[in-house]
Amino acid sequence: MSFKPETATDRLILPLDVPTVEEARTIVAQTKGAVGVYKIGMQLQFAGGLPFAQELAREGQKIFLDVKLLDIDNTVEQAVRNIAKMGMTFVTIHAYPKTMRAAVAGLDAADLCLLGVTVLTSMDDEDVKAAGYAGSAVELVKSRAVAARAAGMGGIVCSPREAGELRDLVGADLVLVTPGVRPVGASADDQRRVMTPGDAIRAGADYIVCGRPITGAADRRKAAEDVVEEIAAAL
């Protein structure tokens, strides 16, 4: 199964980073049809988000389950095997080589795109150094991207600033998902390696993740449509 997007709307991933399923349900109702994929992260997962994710999937919505799996090989393999039964479209794995190989082993023939998380877009070179890595954030992203391709992953999560180099590095088949995307004039919030939607697409991203500029807007649907327009103009 190809996980490449077909339309500009397909390319927009909206995180449902809110405290309750009720709030998430409202956001979906206000943006349905203007968003390609809904992302369910840790905040909502611990507030009933997993059954809600399955509910949305049964309704035909594409769901990005952002769990960032990292554990011993058998645990990761079995977790992926169960997630593959939930109807999700994407799931995240920390991009450690052994972890990614275990995730791929648990995939079997399921229509689930495994995404290797390279370096969080809230981190910069100093953060990477403080975590014990010798090189820069970009160097670590590149090495993990190569490992993701070798492991047989479906794609990677990276900063839009690295998308161009990574596209050349990993080829056309791997899906590139880029958080840290902010429309022109929007606050960067806690993101450090950011780019606009249009620039991210031009750099080689397949999907962009844009959250607070949409969920925090007075008119969420209009905000989502504006981001899609920026994407379309860049295609």
Residue 112 CA to residue 106 CA, distance in Å, equals: 11
68 is in an annotated binding site: yes
Is 66 catalytic? The answer is: yes
73 is in an annotated binding site: yes
182 is in an annotated binding site: yes
69 is in an annotated binding site: yes
140 is in an annotated binding site: no
Q: Among 4, 71, 111, 168, which one carries the catalytic annotation?
A: 71
129 is in an annotated binding site: no
Q: What are the CA-CA distances from residue 174 to residues 42, 91, 139 (Å)? A: 25, 14, 19
Residue 184 CA to residue 187 CA, distance in Å, equals: 9
125 is in an annotated binding site: no
212 is in an annotated binding site: yes
Residue 11 CA to residue 6 CA, distance in Å, equals: 8
70 is in an annotated binding site: yes
In which region does residue 174 sit, left (phi positive, over 0), alpha (psi from -120 to 50) or beta (all else)? beta
189 is in an annotated binding site: no
b vs e for 168-207, b when ≥16 Cβ sit within 10 Å of the residue's Cβ?
eebeeebbbbbbbbbbeebeeeebbbbbbbbbbbbbbbbb
Residue 198 CA to residue 12 CA, distance in Å, equals: 11
Is 71 catalytic? The answer is: yes
Q: Among 10, 32, 68, 127, which one carries the catalytic annotation?
A: 68
Is 142 catalytic? The answer is: no
Q: Among 62, 66, 142, 199, which one carries the catalytic annotation?
A: 66
Which residues carry a binding-site annotation for substrate? 17, 39, 66-75, 121, 182, 191, 211-212
As annotated, the active-site residues are: 66, 68, 71
- Binding-site positions read 17, 39, 66-75, 121, 182, 191, 211-212
